[in-house]
Amino acid sequence: MVTEAEGLQIVLSPVQMAGILHNASISEGEVLSNRLWGGVGLAGGMLQMLVAGGMCAAPDPTMLTKAACVVVGGHAADVVHSSFNQIITGKSSNTTTAQAVAATAEM
């Protein structure tokens, strides 16, 4: 049986909690925009996966398309993961590839 306690309950989304913890203001429009762009990124990542699948299936005597298939497929998985996180959290998210390039550029 569930017992109910009297008192005040505060319900926050993960984005609101992050805003409170970082002492920042996050508008509903920003969250919606980030989630919308995350959806666009997710569609782009899925399209990249489709292209990678086509490259894997294409006949090629030099195996160059197979190597490109692995690279494009890996990047597509990275884009899908990053975009899915952006849709869930509502915060802008960079791919692991972009983070690695930025870290290399700072060296």
Mean of pLDDT over the chain: 87
Average pLDDT value for residue range 20-38: 82
pLDDT band at 89 (very low <50, low <70, confident <90, very high): confident
pLDDT tens-digit readout, 31-47: 788 889 999 999 999 99
Cα distances from 66 to residues 58, 78, 79, in angstroms, run 8, 18, 20
Domain ranges, ordered by start, for the chain: 28-106
Predicted confidence (pLDDT) at residue 16 exceeds the cutoff of 90: no
pTM (predicted TM-score): 0.71
Cβ partners under 8 Å of residue 69, min gap 6: 52, 53, 55, 56
Residue 2 confidence (pLDDT):
60
End-to-end CA distance of the chain: 59
Predicted confidence (pLDDT) at residue 105 exceeds the cutoff of 90: yes
Question: How large is the greatest C-alpha to C-alpha distance in the chain, in angstroms?
Answer: 73
